[in-house]
Chains A and B, each alone.
Chain A
Amino acid sequence: MSAMWAASPSELLMRAATKAAGRQRSVVRRRFTLIIGLVMLAIAIAAAVLAPLLVSQSPTAIDVLHPLSPPLTSGHLLGTDQYGRDLLARILYAGRIDLAIAFGATSVTLVGGTMIGLVAGYVGGKVDSFLMRLVDLFFAFPFLVLIIAIIAMLGPSTFNLFIAIWITSWVSYARIMRAQTVVAKKQQYVLAARALGYSPVRVMFRHILPNTASTVIIFSMVDAVGNIILAASLGFLGLGVQPPTPEWGSMISDGQNYILTSWWLATLPGLAVVFVGVAFSLIGDGLADVLRAGDR
């Protein structure tokens, strides 16, 4: 039997099967999702940041002569709202605030929650017990309700929105990180590091953290989507970013009043939210695929 096999029917079948198996797992395909997600996010960020260059209208300029114009009216690509304000401009400028919330809120809770989980998992004992009871306690509340309650007490404003998210969101990260740390503690590389006499801080940050970070980072993408939707939801309820700052959620809420006649007011800002949300989701999925390249 030589290495060059004859192209028998079974052989052709096998080649096709291999290609099919390969297609599902090829490196390109894995990165594909990640790349698309990053491109989408880049587009969103660019559009928001470069808004003044992209639209000449101001998001707050009122034009009583042209209220509720539908999309593709001259000068207003996406139409205008009830005050004649250009919808495209408002969507782009609103993007700034919503994206800021996504990044600002997520990054703080990512870092804070991860630290707490890492320490709790590593130190163990009473500290761990206490912190995890605290986490459980937070999980007993429906997320949105607790945030609304906190905002109720502090008063609705963009800053209080950040505070409310920071107070409540760290728990997910803490829980995930703690579970990872507890498992990592027993791994060979940690035992080795400790045997070498490294300080706990060093073991935690230079050994455990790099090896377990991938899970929380992937989760942070999911959380980012959640935070954007949260910001929009609170805006929708009038409890988040306050007017006159344009924000996707509050735009949708305003638009709902005109749903019978001017569908674009409520629909289009929502598409912006979906766009950014899908971008983060794809990045998360893509990262998951890439980082777990070895497994099935």
Chain B
Amino acid sequence: MNRFGMLPRRLLHTVIVLFGITLVTFFLLRLIPGDPALAILGSSYTHTRAVAIDNFLGLNKPIWTQYGQYMDRLFHGNLGFSFFYDESATVVIRQHIAPTVFLVIYSAVLAAIISMPIGFISGLRRGGAVDQSSRVFFTLSFAMPAFWLGIILILIFSVKLPVFPISGFGSGFVGHLYYLFLPALTISLGFSTVLVRSLRAATIATLQAEFIDTARMKGIRWRRVLWRHVFRNSVLAVVAVYGVNLAYLIGGTVLVENVFSLPGLGSLLVSSVSDRDYPVVQGVTLLFAVLIVLINLFTDLAQAALDPRVGQEIGT
């Protein structure tokens, strides 16, 4: 039985979505009211440059040609030219990728570490101490804007009790772990709300399933039942939720990078908006979207690996 029977269709789907993304980012620039060249050049406006931009964007040509030009450049890794930095947008963006990727992975791992035990135990012992207290805690933290939570954490752990640094990326792997702990914690707390709730609900549902009775009937240890039967099934629900929400929280990195002054893609995005650096805005948006598509693909694969029912090729 091929667990990954759906892979070919899934990859095709992914490619289609990627094309769709480029369409959206392409049209983004077209949203600018007024003259795009004026907007892009800003204070460095000269007539020659404006003409160059018009040609570059193919603004006088039919829309499909413009799109074609855009895609052609994309395939060559050309994300446009940043007039603000006076450099290729690709170069600018590349310099900012590392902190963001590190932060995303760090947050994802931290969220799993926090939410799995809490969610599982909450489901096992409904109404118990862990369940009640975590429910209160997470209702509160869900309503907290990520950036505010970040500031509070800074207040407590960097200002009042100088344990962690206020800002920056640090150097070296361990340095990164240290500097990014508070930012990652900020993101993962928001993320964990949904994970805990999902795992809790899934655990409660699984506990009532008949196959748990069959497992107990065999006379095996309860610990084995918990792990091999209850957890193994409950965690499936979480993987699906994980993927969707991780995508949602990549947006959160934008805020957190701002609060903690991390030189990542998020900070770049925000500064580019006020700098009117449209090509960079476009490029970062595209990159973020691609990242999410890849993450979703990855979660689907993870689901197929864990649940034999998912991977089957279903003819539609």
Chain A residues at the B interface, C-beta cutoff of 8 Å: 24, 133, 136-137, 139-146, 148-156, 225, 229, 232-233, 236-239, 249, 252, 255-256, 259-260, 263, 266-267, 270, 273-274, 276-278, 280-282, 285
Contact assessment for B144 and A145 in the assembled complex, using a CB-CB cutoff below 8 Å: no
B29 located at the interface, meaning its Cβ lies under 8 Å from any Cβ of chain A in the complex: yes
B17's partner among A24, A136, A273, A276 (CB-CB below 8 A) is A136
12 contacts between A and B (CB under 8 A): A141-B24, A145-B289, A146-B285, A150-B31, A151-B273, A153-B281, A233-B145, A237-B258, A239-B270, A239-B273, A256-B151, A274-B143
Contact assessment for A148 and B254 in the assembled complex, using a CB-CB cutoff below 8 Å: yes
Q: How far is the CB of A69 from chain B (nearest CB, A)?
A: 19
Contact assessment for B289 and A152 in the assembled complex, using a CB-CB cutoff below 8 Å: no
B186 located at the interface, meaning its Cβ lies under 8 Å from any Cβ of chain A in the complex: no
Q: A137-B24, A225-B142, A281-B142 are in contact. Are A145 and B254 (CB under 8 A)?
A: yes
Question: In the assembled complex, which residues on chain A have CB atoms less than 8 Å from the CB atom of B278?
Answer: 152-153
A152's partner among B127, B155, B281, B292 (CB-CB below 8 A) is B281
B274's partner among A133, A233, A238, A255 (CB-CB below 8 A) is A238
How far apart are the CA atoms of A144 and B270 in the complex, in Å? Answer: 11
How far apart are the CA atoms of A152 and B273 in the complex, in Å? Answer: 5
Question: In the assembled complex, which residues on chain B have CB atoms less than 8 Å from the CB atom of A156?
Answer: 273
B56 located at the interface, meaning its Cβ lies under 8 Å from any Cβ of chain A in the complex: no
How far apart are the CA atoms of A141 and B281 in the complex, in Å? Answer: 13
Contact assessment for A141 and B145 in the assembled complex, using a CB-CB cutoff below 8 Å: no
Of the four ranges (under 10, 10 to 19, 20 to 34, 35 or more), the interface on chain B belongs to 35 or more
Closest CB pairs A-B (n = 3):
A277-B143, A144-B251, A270-B148
Question: In the assembled complex, which residues on chain B have CB atoms less than 8 Å from the CB atom of A133?
Answer: 20
How far apart are the CA atoms of A74 and B158 in the complex, in Å? Answer: 30
Q: How far is the CB of B186 from chain A (nearest CB, A)?
A: 13
Question: In the assembled complex, which residues on chain B have CB atoms less than 8 Å from the CB atom of A150?
Answer: 28, 31
B285's partner among A24, A149, A236 (CB-CB below 8 A) is A149
Q: How far is the CB of B241 from chain A (nearest CB, A)?
A: 14
Point out which of A150, A229, A282 has the most chain B C-beta atoms below 10 A from its C-beta: A229
B202 located at the interface, meaning its Cβ lies under 8 Å from any Cβ of chain A in the complex: no
Contact assessment for A149 and B282 in the assembled complex, using a CB-CB cutoff below 8 Å: yes
B71 located at the interface, meaning its Cβ lies under 8 Å from any Cβ of chain A in the complex: no
Point out which of B145, B151, B251 has the most chain A C-beta atoms below 10 A from its C-beta: B145
How far apart are the CA atoms of A267 and B144 in the complex, in Å? Answer: 11
Q: A153-B32, A249-B145 are in contact. Are A140 and B255 (CB under 8 A)?
A: no
Question: In the assembled complex, which residues on chain A have CB atoms less than 8 Å from the CB atom of B288?
Answer: 141-142, 145
Residue of A nearest to B275 (CB): A152
Report whether over half of chain B's contact residues are helix, strand or loop; otherwise say mixed: helix
B116 located at the interface, meaning its Cβ lies under 8 Å from any Cβ of chain A in the complex: no
Q: How far is the CB of B53 from chain A (nearest CB, A)?
A: 16
Contact assessment for A270 and B152 in the assembled complex, using a CB-CB cutoff below 8 Å: yes
How far apart are the CA atoms of A136 and B80 in the complex, in Å? Answer: 26
Q: How far is the CB of B11 from chain A (nearest CB, A)?
A: 15
Point out which of A152, A252, A276, A282 has the most chain B C-beta atoms below 10 A from its C-beta: A152
Question: In the assembled complex, which residues on chain B have CB atoms less than 8 Å from the CB atom of A236?
Answer: 145, 147, 255, 258
Contact assessment for A140 and B20 in the assembled complex, using a CB-CB cutoff below 8 Å: yes
Question: In the assembled complex, which residues on chain A have CB atoms less than 8 Å from the CB atom of B146?
Answer: 229, 233
Question: In the assembled complex, which residues on chain A have CB atoms less than 8 Å from the CB atom of B32?
Answer: 153-154
B154's partner among A142, A151, A259 (CB-CB below 8 A) is A259
Residue of B nearest to A137 (CB): B20
Contact assessment for B31 and A144 in the assembled complex, using a CB-CB cutoff below 8 Å: no
Contact assessment for B143 and A273 in the assembled complex, using a CB-CB cutoff below 8 Å: yes
Question: In the assembled complex, which residues on chain A have CB atoms less than 8 Å from the CB atom of B31?
Answer: 150, 153-154
Contact assessment for A148 and B17 in the assembled complex, using a CB-CB cutoff below 8 Å: no
Contact assessment for B159 and A142 in the assembled complex, using a CB-CB cutoff below 8 Å: no
Question: In the assembled complex, which residues on chain B have CB atoms less than 8 Å from the CB atom of A151?
Answer: 273
Residue of B nearest to A230 (CB): B145
Question: In the assembled complex, which residues on chain B have CB atoms less than 8 Å from the CB atom of A144?
Answer: 251-252, 254-255
Contact assessment for B248 and A152 in the assembled complex, using a CB-CB cutoff below 8 Å: no
How far apart are the CA atoms of A238 and B273 in the complex, in Å? Answer: 10
B7 located at the interface, meaning its Cβ lies under 8 Å from any Cβ of chain A in the complex: no
Q: How far is the CB of B39 from chain A (nearest CB, A)?
A: 8
A278's partner among B25, B140, B155, B284 (CB-CB below 8 A) is B140
Q: How far is the CB of B131 from chain A (nearest CB, A)?
A: 12
B187 located at the interface, meaning its Cβ lies under 8 Å from any Cβ of chain A in the complex: no
How far apart are the CA atoms of A243 and B143 in the complex, in Å? Answer: 24
Residue of A nearest to B151 (CB): A266
How far apart are the CA atoms of A274 and B293 in the complex, in Å? Answer: 31
Q: A152-B278, A259-B154, A267-B152 are in contact. Are A24 and B127 (CB under 8 A)?
A: yes
Q: How far is the CB of A40 from chain B (nearest CB, A)?
A: 11
